[in-house]
Copies of this chain bind each other. A is one copy, B any other.
């Protein structure tokens, strides 16, 4: 590399047109024609075409580049030229450089590979353009979510991963040997978020959660990240407004910050540009009528929606739809009921394009006696919920919150079918490697 040339990145090439700069990265692919090597160099921020002309560099460098296969690491110095034909709009006319490691046998080639082959090489698969784009979008979504809550005065209060008891049933819990005792990995930070909301007013948790589901569908990971805001002095309507604002903010940020990545994914941006307030809102009863009239639905009134029902509802609108007031019996003990007791004051947000549920939220039961009666009716181990009952003993207030599944949200925004591509190192029933 030429002494004194500025080291820059692919995404900032446009700031250096006419200047000599240095890029550092890996060969994404290379085409050689006689006296020319066209190197598409990736550096983590993007891919840039670098032109190595036999007469323009040392004999040694020209040969080294010509012998370097996919994923060889190298440093290239040259002049930045604006060129509308080049991917990204700029290219590097190489004058100097060095191959750090020449690679010949990189296992992931441009040909098609099976998913299992790729998942076993996830540490390398991440370098592929599509995976790179998905996880850069995931990053922007994480940043958008945290920014959204921080700007609105929510305090990040991490809920614990080790828990002594199940929030909802034990069949899908992972057990840990905790110094000879048994602990469980958390499935949701909600109960802890409720305690925190009584101390901080508005809080959110953002961490990994775990579900030992013997399920191999495209929607399931054993380890996934959840965002769970909780607000004191709030009701179901507040939760719906917040969820709507948050989703709009996330989508807006991705459109602003990750346009090249959406293009890599060939994601139809117009579908994302539709995601504007207000989102349609309907009750479970109204949604049930739609399903009852739909030829493909096996919906039974009074039961929860199945995945195919969610898909039908999802495809009715160009933006997420919020469905409220499910029958009390199909929803959790901690949800407040409507005045007649028939429905839960809850909301599920169903993302469009057939994606299905991404948010579940509710107003929480804030009456001590009512909550206790429900814990007892469901045979939950009361001793594990005494602390949770304390929140209704000592200064109970109306409160509400929701949970957003990060990976499903990434999948929806990226237009990616299977959640395994939305986690950097996905964990599934049959896979914990690499």
Contacts and interface: CB of A to CB of B under 8 A. Distances in A.
A391 B162 CA distance: 33
Contacts of A342: none
A164 B26 contact: no
Contacts of A208: 158, 161, 207-208
A395 B106 CA distance: 9
Instruction: Determine the interface band of chain A, counting residues with CB < 8 A from chain B.
Output: 35 or more
Interface string A417-433: 00000011101010011
B156 A139 contact: yes
A126 interface: yes
Interface string A68-97: 000111000000000000000000000000
A409 to B, nearest CB: 14
Contacts of A195: 123-124, 126, 434
Interface in A139-156: 139, 142-143, 146, 150, 153, 155-156
A contact patch SS:
mixed
A369 to B, nearest CB: 12
Interface stretch (A29-37, A171-179, A332-340): A171-179
Interface of A: 9, 11, 24-27, 43-45, 71-73, 100-101, 103, 106-107, 121, 123-124, 126-127, 131-132, 135-136, 138-139, 142-143, 146, 150, 153, 155-164, 174-179, 181, 183, 185, 192, 195-202, 207-208, 210, 212, 214, 222-223, 225, 232-233, 387-388, 390-391, 393-397, 423-425, 427, 429, 432-434
A72 B397 CA distance: 10
